[in-house]
Amino acid sequence: MAKKRKARVRKTDTSKWSKPNPDVKVTNPHVTLLIPSGKCPVRLESNDRGSIRDWVLELTRVKPANTTYQASVYKYWVRDFYESYSQEYKDIGAVIDTLVTGKIIKTSDIGA
C-alpha cells in the first residue's frame, strides 16, 4: 500500500503582506456612475423646472471629482421623493432628460 502524502505548507516571508509598496503611485480611477447607492445627498424642493435644475446643479457640485454622472443617476434619486409610478416622477424624468443630455463631469455640462 502506498504511503499517503501530507500536504506541505511552504514557508514564505509574510512580513510585507500588509505594507503597501511606496514606489507604486496609487491613483483613483475615473468612474462613470449609472445607478447610485444610498439616499440622495440633496433635497428636491418641488417639481418645477427651476428647482429641478437647481437640484441637479447641487448634486453635481457635491459629487466626487473623479466621478461622471449619467442621467439615470438623477432619475434614480428622484425616487427618494416621489413614487416611481407617479405622474410627478415621469414629469421630472422628462425634465431631467432635457437638462442632462450626456455625461456630466462638471456643472457647465448641464443644459438650460
Other Cβ atoms within 10 Å of 56 Cβ, number: 25
Could you identify the residue written with the cell 438650460?
112
Find the domain containing 51 and state its range: 31-36+43-105
Q: What is the pLDDT of residue 13?
A: 73
Mean pLDDT confidence for 49-73 = 92
In a domain, 111, yes or no: no
* Spatial CA neighbour of 68 closest among 37, 30, 11: 30
On the question of pLDDT at 1 being above 70, the answer is no
Band (pLDDT 50/70/90 cuts) for residue 39 is very high
Domain total of the chain: 1
In a domain, 11, yes or no: no
Mean pLDDT confidence for 44-50 = 91
Q: How far apart are CA 32 and CA 29, in angstroms?
A: 10
The tens digit of pLDDT for each residue in 2-16 reads: 777 777 766 677 776
In a domain, 22, yes or no: no
On the question of pLDDT at 75 being above 70, the answer is yes
Q: How far apart are CA 60 and CA 29, in angstroms?
A: 18
